[in-house]
Amino acid sequence: MSERVVLEARGLGKRYGRRWALTDCDLEIPGGHVVGLVGPNGAGKTTLLNLAVGQLTPDAGSIRVLGGDPAAGPAQMAKVGFVAQDTPTYAGLTVADHLKLGARLNPAWDAALARERVERLGLDPRRKAGRLSGGQRAQLALTLGIAKRPELLILDEPVAALDPLARREFLQSLMESVAEHGLSVLLSSHLVSDLERACDYLIVLVDSRVRVAGEIETLLATHHRLTGPRRDAGRLPSDQHVVSASHTDRQSTYVVRTDGPIHDPAWTVSQVALEDLVLAYMDTAASDGDRPALEVLR
């Protein structure tokens, strides 16, 4: 799978009336990964994804996807598969109707792949989408996204409304497709457990700003929790970047990023789980002076 940049944003902004849903966003997303995009409500994730697939146009800055303008035309749009937040299907159409529609709308449509997935998932081609379970509708939407044979598959909270079993089955199906077809994937989710299961690259977006981006394995290896006697952040070594901090009268707890070993015996050093890492970067209690707008770790 290619390591090229599949999505690049520079100063990207989108406004709804007087309100900016996304502003001054700079981002690079590498190919050849399953990228998890995470952040609080209002961070701009859905707006970013809708800009990436050409459903919205920027009010500021620029965005390029697979080297082109997302709204450049049918050839550009054919390169990108999209499963929106509500895993859209048409309630009155059967599963077979959806596959026929996909074939008409997508020039590179892989009918054999679509049929094979429908059979393997046990979806009745004659059944209307409105009679399917939430998990089955999500799988149908994923089938439509994959069978168009995109270079980049974008999924916006695709499993948010599913029960745990349906989520696991959806993500397992996604990972099988990634392995079989070499897709690059951008997956937005609030559920860190799903990111852990499916993704190998993480981006944390807060208030339109990328707080951290990198391969998950590297992120976990370079972030640590320090617990010990109360100490100001200014007394930590310069190579220990403070991500978040909390204090009691006698004790300090820091989440730090460092490439080097931590030798100070005053600290109890522990590993940081992915959820703790995400929450640390989302913690608005940390001042902007304590953390950069962008940290890219590869």
Q: Which residues, in sequence order, are bridge partners of residue 19? A: 16
**The pairing of beta strand 223-229 with beta strand 268-271:** antiparallel
pLDDT at 134 over 70: yes
Q: Which residues, in sequence order, are bridge partners of residue 212? A: 204
Q: Write down the pLDDT at residue 230.
A: 96
DSSP 276-295: HHHHHHH-TTS-GGGS-S--
Q: Write down the pLDDT at residue 194.
A: 86
Q: Write down the pLDDT at residue 280.
A: 95
Would you tell me how many other CB atoms lie within 10 Å of the CB of residue 62? 11
| Contact yes or no for 224/262 (Cβ under 8 A) | yes
Q: Average per-residue pLDDT in the chain? A: 90
Give CA–CA dist 29/171, Å, rounded.
20
Q: Write down the pLDDT at residue 85.
A: 80
pLDDT at 294 over 50: no
Give CA–CA dist 134/107, Å, rounded.
28
Give CA–CA dist 160/195, Å, rounded.
12
Would you tell me how many other CB atoms lie within 10 Å of the CB of residue 228? 16
- What residues have CB less than 8 Å from 82, skipping those under 6 apart? 49, 53, 145, 153, 154, 155, 156
Q: Write down the pLDDT at residue 204.
A: 94
pTM comes to 0.87
More confident position, 1 or 154: 154
Give the confidence band of 3 by pLDDT, cuts at 50, 70, 90.
low
pLDDT at 295 over 90: no
Q: Write down the pLDDT at residue 284.
A: 52
Q: Write down the pLDDT at residue 87.
A: 72
More confident position, 55 or 295: 55
**pLDDT tens digits, one per residue of 233-278:** 999 999 999 999 999 999 999 999 999 999 999 999 999 999 999 9
Amino acid at 23: T
Q: Where are the beta strands (DSSP E) in 31-175?
A: 34-38, 60-65, 80-83, 152-156
